[in-house]
Amino acid sequence: MECPLCEPIKKTNWHFYGPDYIIMDCETCNVPMVVFRSHEEPPDHVMLRAIRHAVKMFPDREPDFDRRTYPGHPHFHMR
């Protein structure tokens, strides 16, 4: 089965598009989520940079690292 987060199709609003991650609205729950551009777990410094970036963009939300629909691809929601 192919992973739809490895090469996401722009179906929702994208807030940020960078070399390591994308910040976009989740198609399922319609909240911002950070999707890493690799199927592998990101290095700690990339994860921390993404968390800081998302918290700065959405200060009224908190990171939720529970991977429900796509547990194999690194991502987190801002709930």
DSSP 43: P
- pLDDT tens by residue, 32-68: 999 999 999 999 999 999 999 999 999 999 999 999 9
* Mean pLDDT along residues 6-15: 92
**pTM of the predicted protein model:** 0.93
Residue recorded with tokens 């991502």: 75
Residue 78 has pLDDT above 90, yes or no: yes
CB-CB contact of 77 with 68 (8 Å): no
Reference 3, options 28, 33, 37; nearest CA is 37
Count up the domains in the chain and report the number: 1
Residue 1's pLDDT is 58
The CA distance from 74 to 60, in Å, is: 22
Report the percent of the chain where pLDDT is more than 90.
86
Structural domain range at position 50? 14-78
The CA distance from 68 to 78, in Å, is: 14
Asked if residue 7 is part of any domain, the answer here is: no
